[in-house]
Each structure stands twice: as C-alpha cells, then as structure tokens.
Amino acid sequence: MSICFLNNEFQDIKDAKISPMDRGFLFGDSIYEVIIAFEKKPFQLEAHLERLEKNLSTLGYNLKNFLELKEIILDLISRNSFLNQVIYVQISRGTDEIRDHIPKPNLVPTVFISSHELHTDFSLNSGEKAILKKDFRWRRSQIKATSLLANVMFRDESNQKGVFETILYENGYVTEGAVSNIFCCKNDKVFTPSLEENILPGVTRKVILELLEENSISYEEDKISLDFFSSSDEIWVTNSTKGIIPIVDLDGKEIGSGLPGKIYSKIAKSFKNRISN
C-alpha cells in the first residue's frame, strides 16, 4: 500500500481523487518537486522547499500552510514502508468553477504528495547513451511546472531509441536534459550551462558544484556551444532520482575514451557519500 497526502489528509493512493476542474488538470497550472529519501532521510529537503517557495511566489499561488509542508513530507516518509523513496510534491493553483484561463484571486491550492520506492543506489554507473535535440519547450523552464508535454515527447523518443536521456540545445548552445541538468569536462575543468530562464536550477546541480569545490576541481558556469559540448572529454547528466550519470555516447559518437571519466568517478563517489551521510 502507498500512502499519499491530498487535501489535508493522508490516504491510500488508490482512494485519492481530485476534481477535473483543478487548474493543474485543465491548464497545467501547477508546480512540483521530486525529492528523494535515502534510508528514510530526505536529501536536500530545504533546497527543494526553497525552490518550491520561489515558484509559488512567481506564480502567485495562495498557499497558506507552506510552513507545514516539511512536517507533512517527513510524516509521509515515515508512513510509507520503503527504506528509499521518491517523494513527489505537486501543488496546483486550485479548483475553478468554470474553465477560465484567468485565475480567480483566492483559489485554494491543491496539495498532493506521494511516495514510491526509489530503485537507484547511486553506485558508479558504467556509462549511458544520449541524443541531442532542438529545445522546443516553453522559454521559462526554470519554473518547475507540471506542463511537461515537450519533456514527455523527448523522453518518449529517448526511450524508443533505447538511450538514457535527450540533451537539448537552442541557438547553438546546450541548455539541459529533458529531465536533468548537464555538465561537461575539458582538460580537467568542468563546465555547466549558466542558469538562464530556460534552465531549471537543479538541486543535484547545486550539490555537484559544492562537491567540485570540496574536491578542488575548477569549474565554470557559462553558455556552452554544441561543438564544445560534443567534443568534451566527459559528459554527465544529473537529477534527484538518478544522481550523476556519465554519458559515453552522444548521438552515436564516443565521448572521451568511451568510458566514464576520472572526474566523474571522483564526484560520483563524493555524491554517494553525501547522500549516505
């Protein structure tokens, strides 16, 4: 059984129901977070809540009980039996009476929080494939919105092609993955796209930058051209549920030696330590 939290109560997910007039359903007018709990301890919960709070404020949602969310998430983790969990938090602007693009000012947000088992153990990965695609998402992907049709199409394509991730580019520069942030390395230096309006400020990205500092590895946040990226020594993609994954084949072309690189191995080990402690 999986217990979720919906509209102020914990319940079996099989019994959970929301109205079709919910603006999350009608317009994708909702935001979300994906947080992992490793051995029942949430990882980077404060950073996820900070990003969520920022998105709530950008969109002007009236969530009165934001401060209770932390306790609710901790309670949900303990009510579910899995040791390692993926916690999904979705907040929509609320439920309308008639469908109207213009939001009413005082809607009560719908809060849905669920948990399922996390299957990643964050051990070293032997290398994955990725493809490159033109980024056709909306331009404000720094907002973690549930309107993810473009991402669904990119993920569907990578799945059909048997590759791990689709990496996106716009005007000759890489942006991020369909469900991840991206990094590359050249001559022992690490590069990641600087945070623009169309790039999600990933929590894992932030942790990786901290680990690079701790390990005295120099890095730069900047625009990264497709040519520079495709000819790097190492490429990694990062997100909360997978951690840090080395890409050794991009559009059928070998990256570096075709095996995970040495900076990856170092940072992936530090990352696993961070999660387990």
What is the set of active-site residues?
144
Q: Rule CB under 6 A: say whether 240 interacts with ligand PDD.
A: yes
Q: Please, which residue, 95 or 166, has the CB nearer to ligand PDD?
A: 166
Cα–Cα distance between 211 and 1 in angstroms, integer? 37
Residues 137-176: x where in contact with ligand PDD by CB under 6 A, - otherwise, as a string: ---------------------------------------x
**Bridge-partner residues for 265, per DSSP?**
none
Q: Which stretch binds ligand PDD (CB under 6 A): 108-116, 120-128, 190-198, 201-209?
A: 201-209
Cα–Cα distance between 219 and 185 in angstroms, integer? 9
Q: Would you call 121 helix, strand, or coil by DSSP?
A: coil
What contacts 219, CB < 8 A, 6 or more positions away? 189, 190, 191, 192, 209, 212
Q: Please, which residue, 53 or 103, has the CB nearer to ligand PDD?
A: 53
Q: Please, which residue, 85 or 181, has the CB nearer to ligand PDD?
A: 181
Q: Please, which residue, 3 or 208, has the CB nearer to ligand PDD?
A: 208
* Span 38-67, contacts to ligand PDD by CB under 6 A: none
Q: Please, which residue, 179 or 250, has the CB nearer to ligand PDD?
A: 179
- With b meaning 16 or more CB within 10 Å and e meaning fewer, what string describes 43-75? bbbebbbebbeebbeebebebeebeebeebbbe
Residues that contact ligand PDD, how many (by CB under 6 A): 14
Q: Rule CB under 6 A: say whether 30 interacts with ligand PDD.
A: no
Q: Rule CB under 6 A: say whether 239 interacts with ligand PDD.
A: yes
Helix or strand (DSSP H, E) at 49: helix 45-59
Least distance in Å: CB of 47 to ligand PDD? 8
Quote the tokens at residue 33. 């977070």
Q: Rule CB under 6 A: say whether 181 interacts with ligand PDD.
A: yes
Cα–Cα distance between 178 and 151 in angstroms, integer? 5
Q: Would you call 31 helix, strand, or coil by DSSP?
A: strand
Least distance in Å: CB of 49 to ligand PDD? 12
Q: Which of 200, 212, 255, 267 binds ligand PDD (CB under 6 A)?
A: 200
Quote the tokens at residue 135. 């980024």
Binding site for ligand PDD (CB under 6 A): 34, 176, 179-181, 200, 202-205, 238-241
